[in-house]
């Protein structure tokens, strides 16, 4: 498709970036969407929307600072896979990065709950439809 050409679904495409933070024990951080947000109560990989003037890596670094109070560098994140999912109002395109190195201790900065879990335990946590397929890829990677 040429730029500006509508996609086949007619839905606007939303670019969101996500990360699998992996600790020294091989656990992955997931966060629970707080009440009042779209898909509230579901568990997801941290991240957020990519701003109009941002590249995905810049957005991810910003989101980690805002959501979890941690700092990382572009050299410490690597793309692993992506999700493409049609919600009712938009089509989500979400690259998933992995990160094993950051500064600070992850803390819930936006009212969300966070947990460190092993990938084989993630099935116990309800996730948004776009996040769920990423778990298998991440499990195979680890």
Cβ pair 77, 97 in contact under 8 A: yes
Distance between CA atoms of residues 87 and 117, nearest Å: 27
Q: Can you give the pLDDT at residue 108?
A: 96
Query: Picking from 1-5, 70-74, 105-109, which range would have the lowest pLDDT averaged per residue?
Result: 1-5
Question: Which CATH number applies to 13-141?
Answer: 3.90.79.10
Domain boundaries, given as residue ranges, for the chain: 13-141
Q: What's the pLDDT tens digit per position in 21-44?
A: 999 999 999 999 988 888 889 999
pTM for the whole structure = 0.89
């Amino acid at each position: 498709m040429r730029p500006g050409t509508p996609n086949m679904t007619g839905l606007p495409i939303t670019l969101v970036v996500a990360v699998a933070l992996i600790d020294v024990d091989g656990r992955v951080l997931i966060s629970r969407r707080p009440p009042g947000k779209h898909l509230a109560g579901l568990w997801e990989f941290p991240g957020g929307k990519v701003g109009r003037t941002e590249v995905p890596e810049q957005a991810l670094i910003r989101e980690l600072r805002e959501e979890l109070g941690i700092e990382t560098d572009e050299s410490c994140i690597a793309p692993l896979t992506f999700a493409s999912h049609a919600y009712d109002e938009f089509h989500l395109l979400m690259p998933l990065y992995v990160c094993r190195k950051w500064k600070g201790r992850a803390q819930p900065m936006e009212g969300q709950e966070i947990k460190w879990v092993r990938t084989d335990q993630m099935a116990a946590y309800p996730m948004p439809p776009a996040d769920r397929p990423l778990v298998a890829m991440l499990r195979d990677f680890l």
